[in-house]
Amino acid sequence: MGEWLLSLEGTAAGHALALWLALAAAFLHAIFGALQKGRHDPWLSRGAIDASYCLMAAPFALFVVPWPQPHMWPIFAGAWIIHVIYKVLQALAYTKGSYTVVYPVVRGTGSLFAVIGAYLLFGEVFTVQQWAGVAVLLAGIFGLAAYNLRYLDSQRETLHMALALAVMTGLFVALYTTYDAFGIRAAADPFTFLAWFFMIDGVVMPVYALMRWPAMAEPPELPPLVVRGVVGGLVAFASFGGIMLATRLDKVGEAAVLRETSTVFAALIGWLVLKETVGPRRITLMTLIAAGAVIVEMGG
């Protein structure tokens, strides 16, 4: 499987597969964000999800895929640090703002920073049309932030902090996107990177969740949390794994921007599932973010 994927690098078939992987990752990442935000405490949700994908990945990392080469251990260490900081910022943002406020700003700013990172790290250059797409995407992001600041009444006291945390989280989204793209390209077998990444990445948050759960005034029942964790773990494999493979097969910047069509899925999930008030203007602004991502892909 790994050899087949490597044979597609730099080909038209590889570009097409990367496109579909990025789109699938967009849909699944919106689901992943909703699972973490959901009705449970976001720290507990993330702990349950991380524990699930750590345990799922461990047998593959230890017994199935080829063992990592020595130069991969410092890369795994760097990825672990970046993802821990990202997850802490993400959970903090979700405690300060609603899903439909935080998620689009995180993903939109993340894509912009990822484009810059792809240029600095991989020498990827966007065309004029692609930069126009980035401009449309940014118009949606800052328009959405301005709308929330002007009209959103709920969580007004913590809204500025939520938006600031969302931008900081977006910075780390870009950082892990470009760094993980570097890591998966440095590995001889992409599935070795994925298996070890998920096993190592899932260690920290479950420990904090276990410490947090008994100290809560009304700790939630464990069975629903376990179910959420298992579902979230499976979604994480498909979403994060998919976008990592897309960055191995094709340009990092394009894959990162295309993934931000997840904002449309996030709007629908926030409205239909989480029962958050979205409204036509916010949906239009979220759609602008997705439209910018599509323009970037069409201009490539």
SS3 261: helix
Q: Is 41 helix (H, G, I), strand (E, B) or coil?
A: coil
Closest alpha carbon to 94 in 48, 147, 141, 43: 43
Query: Do the beta carbons of residue 245 and residue 14 sit within 8 Å?
Result: no
pLDDT of 36 above 60: yes
pLDDT > 80? residue 104: no
For residue 53, is pLDDT > 90? yes
Residue 65 confidence (pLDDT): 93
pLDDT tens string 75-97: 999 999 999 999 899 888 888 87
Give the pTM.
0.81
Q: Which of 116-125, 143-152, 246-255 has the lowest mean pLDDT?
A: 143-152
Residue 151 has pLDDT above 60, yes or no: yes
Q: Which of 183, 187, 16 is nearest to 8 (CA)?
A: 16
Distance, CA of 263 to CA of 260 (rounded, Å): 6
Q: Model confidence over 265-283: pLDDT tens digits?
A: 777 777 777 676 667 887 7
Provide the phi-psi class of 124: left if phi over 0, else alpha when psi is between -120 and 50, else beta: beta
Please check the confidence at residue 156 and state whether its pLDDT lies above 70: no
> Could you tell me where the DSSP H helices lie in the chain?
2-7, 12-37, 42-63, 72-96, 99-122, 128-151, 159-186, 190-201, 204-212, 222-249, 252-258, 262-272, 279-298
Residue 153's pLDDT is: 56
Residue identified by tokens 């892990």 is 176
State which of 162-166, 194-198, 289-293 shows the largest mean pLDDT.
194-198
For 284, counting Cβ atoms within 10 Å of its Cβ (0-12 exposed, 13-18 middle, 19+ buried), the class is middle
Domain that holds residue 33: 2-298
Range picked from 9-18, 50-59, 122-131 for highest mean pLDDT = 50-59
Q: Token pair 């991380």 is at which residue?
A: 50
Q: What is the pLDDT of residue 80?
A: 95
Q: At 190, which amino acid appears?
A: P
User: What pLDDT was estimated at residue 45?
Assistant: 85
Number of domains in the chain: 1
42 has pLDDT over 90: no
Report which of 284, 300, 295 is spatially closest to residue 147, judged by C-alpha positions.
284
Phi-psi bin for 279: left (phi > 0), alpha (psi -120 to 50), beta? left
Instruction: Give Cα 45 to chain centroid, integer Å.
Output: 15
